[in-house]
Structure 1
Amino acid sequence: MTTQQSAAVPEEPVVELGKPDEFEQRPHREIRLVMVGLVITMLLAMLDNLIVGTAMPRIVGELNGAEHMSWVVTAYTLATAASTPIWGKVGDLYGRKGSFLVSIAIFLLGSALSGMSQTMTQLIAFRAVQGLGAGGLMVGVMSIMGALVPPRDRGKYQGMFAAVMALATVGGPLIGGFITDHLNWRWTFYVNLPLGAIALVFIVVVLKLPKVRSTAKIDYFGAALLTVGIVAAVLVTTWGGHEYAWGSKQILGLAALGVASLIGFCYVEQRVAEPVIPLQLFRNRNFTMVSIIGFIVGFSMFGAVTFLPTYQQIVQGASATNSGLLLMPMMFGMLVVSLAVGQAITKTGKYRIYPIIGTAVMAGGSLLLSTLAVDTGKFASSCYMVVLGAGMGFLMQVTMLVAQNSVEMKDMGVASSSATLFRTIGGSFGVALFGTLFVNQVNGSVKHLPPEVLQKMAEQGGGGEGMSAMNPATMKSLPPEAVGAYQHGIANGMHTVFLWGAVISVVAVAAALFIREVKLRGGADAAEAKAEAALEGAL
């Protein structure tokens, strides 16, 4: 089987693709200017759902579509997850700059159309368009940085992305609340347009990458199978236990479809010239191990982000208005550690120890959070969150760094999209499975209450499993024994969720122990790194 080669057109500075250890030396000023565009784009990708989530009650009230509200998020998530690996492959085959600009343009088009929506159906459709573009944003950011900056020097810049993540998590709900209260919910989408325009200008004017023309064709059949498999998996985790029972024919049918599609995808990918995700990448031990770790990081991180605000609002009485600020301790731990680790990797070129420490600290943070109770103070819970955030800080950028260092330059987009995809799917599974455990604990704690009280709680929470998401403001109308039982249920749910998170994190610790120290490409070590990478691929 032969692989079709790509020919570069020297209209811009050309980097010879396919050589894993060669990076064109770029002026620091050029890299810093490109990073401005990349950071703004990453901010767009992370802010969107957080801002829109705050405005959802107002959107539903105006468009009269409460029964379809979940699809506003689900359509975006499905389109993002399904398109992520395809964007990575398109960038590798036809040029990363062009595919990145197209993804930004699609995202902005979807944003503008979403803001102009007149019905819930239109909004859901346009959110899917927006999600298609969003799938290429994070992949483009990471693969372009991978093409511009040698792994040895990448630690200088990874702290910027950790800071963007912290800013988006804290600022998203605040911005969304301000826009909803003082402007109009449509501006939660329109706000993307000026930011996106600035990012486009920086990328078009400053970024210089090879323009690649390839005679190779996208593996459309494999891409279709992968898309079906990802969509089925996300729908199983989104609908399971909510829209349909876990044992229902709908969920079991989706699960069977997802498994069959992914098996078919693996079969096809071994027989095509340009696979969407080359399966031989998983023969590289480091690539496989960081993929497992990335999945578990997504699993734990999204679980924490989803359930911690509920505990702090319901049990600790924190304000819901500034819900983004509730996660500040975790983001602070993540940001500080990520900055320190990035500088240390740049200075020493060593990275193996950080995934080991990070997974162990993440497991410890989850174990500490599993001790949350009704009487746990805010200072103690904040300290536990700092520990969990620190563990993630050791891992968030290092996993991407190791994944990119494990492949040749021609597969940089695939490596970036795979790392992003595993983290996204991990988050989807984490929220779904933890959500089921959480709801069961809450319902089990209040089931002894009088029927009329249970009915009132169900009405406030949206019915059935909605009791786990009751409005803190309206809980004052409940009898004291109901409030106490509900708070104990929330605390029990947190204990169960984070205890299982700690157990699952042990798998990540085991995976981290199998990572080999392959020297990072760049600098005087390039030749030795090439030899070690070849040896690693043969093991």
Structure 2
Amino acid sequence: MSLVEEESQVADPAPQTEVDLEEGSWSELLRPRHLAATVTLCLGVALFAFNEFFVSTALPTAVAEFGGAALLSWAFTLYLVFAIVGGALAASLKVRFGARNTLIVAALVFATGTAIATMASSMPQVLAGRVLQGFGEGIIAALCYALIPELFPQRLVPKIFGAEAIVWAAAAFGGPLISGLLTEYWSWRAAFFVNIPAAAIFIALVVAILRQPKQSPRAAGSVPLLRLVAFGFGIMLISLSNTAADGYSMSALLAAALAVFVATVHFDRRSPQSILPFGAFSFDRPLGTGLWVVLLMPLAQASGSVYLVYALQHLWGFGPTAAGFSNALMAISWSLTAIIVASLRSHETRVRLVWTGPLFLCLGLGGLTLAVASGEYGLVFVSQSAVGAGFGLCWGTLSQLLMNVSSIEERDKTSALLPTLQSAGYAIGAAVFGAVANAGGFDEGVSARVISAAMLGVFALGCVLAAASLVFGIRTLRLARCEGRATIQ
């Protein structure tokens, strides 16, 4: 028998007392009532997280077998573009077909893409598989967020965000190791194939815990295909900017992408069938300013995720494993901090900590800037711990707050937008910091002095973006309190 009926999705959650909000415990996630839902949502996130780390480790070996090194970056670009498009479409699909059917079909699309990539005999076939993987997983990740307030009582929402943080940390730490072992001692295809049984388990769990509503799905109107294509095209322009031959071409592509995004958001706000929730990216609503935080924090952090390992290797002579540990340290810090915050019994205390997340991110990126300027590599690891703690302090609570300040009718749009916007932030950040690094003379074989100067520009800009996210974070809390929406609704 199903644990959850989707018809309950349209009902406004019953008000809960402060006592109720403080009674959530980690053990409840593992009790029979919530265990299947916990495993399902964590597995949905794991498909996205582990797939990213597995493939990044295995793809270079596939390129060596097939040739076509020029297509390597497209294996990541196409996956990301279609994951973002799938995430943007997820809320509409959920309304039109129901979460159960949408998740099953998305998982089948993901598994089909995985099978195509696993059995590929050329790089174009791998790329075709990556397109399907990205589209399916973008929908899955978005709906796993959207289902959190429907599958769990509000008191357990912080705990499920903490559990998902553990999944991300496990993926960042263990993904490259497991994929490397599979690739080295078996085949790169094995690193792809492990996603297929995981997708099958996910489908079985979805079937077990969700069922279609008794009433017909609500009318969702036409699919906003043109706006989705425009959004994907903007992300593609950003990705193409990384391959531009000179700074002028890169700047032109980034400017064109910005124009596409601004126009798309403008037209979406005027459409009766909008992709974005009402008030998205406005400066006078808590939802709008909160979404800026969700975009800017990963955008700023992309400075470290793209260039830090390279800097450790070429400025301080670290080996690949030791240099890669800096990213693992960030993930571990994120996970541990998220667990501590989720364990706090007072929701109000968690909300008060939201602004400290961007602050720690700003301090961490400032530390990376200082490390490059002074040549003190020890600051790198302290700074990475601060960056991870920044996300752990605020990410789960901020996500829950943005769901709370959304209307019941638009909560699906907000929830599905969160992982999509996070991915977009990383994509935009990679392009922007690529432009900054290239403008600073960054290139293969340049001197340590040139690398240091380029990295200073990269991390300094990261600090500015993190500071902007701090301003938006503080404003989000003020606006939410003015509206009386800072507590759980």
Cα distance in structure 2, aligned partners of 1:58 and 1:81: 26
Q: How does 1:411-426 map to 2 (within 5 A)?
A: 411-426=410-425
Q: For 2:165, give the aligned amino acid.
A: A
Alignment of 1:168-183 (within 5 A): 168-183=171-186
Deviation at 1:226, TM superposition (A): 2.4
Segment of structure 1 superposing worse, 61-70 or 281-290: 281-290
Q: In the alignment, what sits opposite 1:239?
A: 240
| Deviations 1:466-494 (CA, angstroms, capped at 9, x unpaired) | x1xx6xxxxxxxxxxxxxx6333333333
> C-alpha deviations, 1:262-283, integer Å up to 9, x for none?
52563355342x4232434566
Shift of 1:316: 2.9
Native 8 Å contact 2:280 2:287 kept in 1: yes
Q: CA 1:493–1:30 in 2, change beyond 3 Å: closer, same or farther? A: farther
Q: Which residue matches 1:433?
A: 432
Q: Which amino acid aligns with 1:129?
A: L
How far is the alpha carbon of 1:317 from its aligned partner?
2.8
Q: Is the 8 A contact 1:366 1:388 kept in 2?
A: yes
Matched, 1:88 2:98: no
| Corresponding residue of 1:19 | 12
Aligned to 2:21: none
Match of 2:141 in 1: 138
Match of 1:459 in 2: none
Cα shift at 1:76: 0.9
Q: 2:268–2:276: 8 Å Cα contact kept in structure 1?
A: no
Residue type at the aligned position of 1:412: R
State the match for 1:456 in structure 2: none
Offset at 1:518? 8.9
SS of residue in 2 equivalent to 1:186: helix
Which structure 2 residues correspond to residues 42-53 of structure 1 after superposition, within 5 A? 42-53=45-56
What is the alpha-carbon distance in structure 1 between the residues aligned to residue 349 and residue 4 of structure 2? 37
Aligned residues: 476
After TM superposition, the structure 1 stretch with the greater mean CA deviation from structure 2, 146-155 or 76-85, is 146-155
Tell me whether 384-393 or 417-426 shows the greater mean CA deviation.
417-426
Secondary structure at the counterpart of residue 266 of structure 2: helix
How far, CA to CA, are the matches of 1:196 and 1:536 in structure 2? 33
Could you say if the C-alpha distance between residues 270 and 534 of structure 1 is closer, same or farther in structure 2, counting changes exceeding 3 Å?
farther
Matched letter for residue 352 of structure 1: V
Contact 1:30–1:206 (CA<8 Å) still a contact in 2? no
1:500 match: secondary structure: helix
Q: In the aligned structure 1, how far is the partner of 2:381 from the partner of 2:55?
A: 26
- % identical aligned pairs: 20
Are the structure 2 counterparts of residues 268 and 383 from structure 1 closer, same or farther at C-alpha, using a change threshold of 3 Å?
closer
Write out per-residue CA displacement over residues 242-280 of structure 1, whole angstroms, 9 at most, x where no aligned residue. 2354534x97478547735752563355342x4232434
Q: Is the 8 A contact 1:240 1:246 kept in 2?
A: no
Q: Which residue of 2 aligns with 1:217?
A: 220
> Matches of 2:149 and 2:4 in 1, distance apart?
21
Q: CA deviation at 1:376?
A: 4.0
* Counterpart residue type for residue 233 of structure 1: G
Cα distance change of structure 1 residues 340 and 210 upon mapping to structure 2, 3 Å threshold: farther
Which piece of structure 1 moves more, 274-283 or 198-207? 274-283
Name the structure 2 match of 1:55.
58
- Residue 207 of structure 1 and its aligned partner are, at CA, apart by 4.1
Task: State the Cα distance separating 1:361 from its structure 2 match.
Answer: 1.4
Secondary structure of the residue aligned to 2:10 is coil
1:11–1:211 Cα contact (<8 Å) kept? no
- 5 Å-filtered alignment, 1:313-352, equals 313-321=313-321, 324-344=324-344, 346-352=345-351
* Aligned counterpart, 2:196: 193
112-121 vs 414-423, greater mean Cα deviation: 414-423
Residue among 444, 452, 455 paired with 1:494: 455
Decide whether aligned partners of structure 1 residues 376 and 280 sit closer, same or farther in structure 2, where only a CA change above 3 A counts.
Answer: closer
Q: Which amino acid aligns with 1:292?
A: W
Give the superposition deviation at 1:55.
1.9
Q: Structure 1 length normalisation: TM-score?
A: 0.79
Correspondence for 2:366: 367
Of the structure 1 ranges 126-135 and 315-324, higher mean CA displacement relative to structure 2 is found in 315-324
Highest CA radius of gyration, 1 or 2?
Answer: 1
In the alignment, what sits opposite 1:4? none
Please list every run of at least 4 consecutive aligned residues from structure 1 whose deviation after the TM superposition is greater than 6 angstroms. 517-520, 534-537
Partner deviation per Cα, 1:149-179 (whole Å, 9 max, x = no partner): 2444311222111111111112222122112
Q: Residues 385, 95 of structure 1: CA spacing in aligned structure 2 closer, same or farther, 3 A cutoff?
A: same
Are 2:87 and 2:138, in contact at CA under 8 Å, matched by a contact in 1? yes
Report the counterpart of residue 308 of structure 2 in structure 1: 308
Q: Distance in 2 between matches of 1:509 and 1:341?
A: 19
AA aligned opposite 1:320:
P
Displacement of 1:291 in angstroms is 0.4
Q: What SS does the corresponding residue of 2:188 show, helix, strand or coil?
A: coil
Evaluate the alpha carbon distance shift between residue 33 and residue 217 of structure 1 in structure 2; reply closer, same or farther with a 3 A threshold.
closer
Superposition map of 1:270-281 within 5 A: 270-272=270-272, 274-280=273-279
**Gap change, CA 1:312 and 1:65, over 3 Å in 2:** same
Distance 1:64 1:52 in 2: 17
Structure 2 regions of 5+ residues with no counterpart?
A: 17-23
TM-score w.r.t. the length of structure 2 is 0.87
Question: Residue 396 of structure 2 aligns to a residue in which SS?
Answer: helix
Task: Write the letter of the residue equivalent to 2:410.
Answer: D
2:158 is aligned with 1:159: no
Give the match for residue 355 of structure 1. Answer: 354
Name the residue aligned to 2:20: none
Select 2:123's aligned residue among 115, 120, 125.
Answer: 120
Partner of 1:277, secondary structure, is coil
SS state at 2:216 partner: strand
**How many Å separate the matches in 1 of 2:245 and 2:221?**
36
- Letter of the 2:195 partner, please give it: N
Mapped contact 1:372–1:491 kept (Cα < 8 A): no
Unaligned runs of 5+ in 1: 1-9, 444-464, 471-484, 521-528
Using the TM superposition, give the Cα deviation of residue 56 of structure 1 relative to its aligned residue in structure 2, in angstroms.
2.3
Which SS does the other structure have where 1:373 is aligned? helix
Pairwise CA distance, 1:314: 2.3
Q: In structure 1, what residue type is equivalent to 2:100? A: K
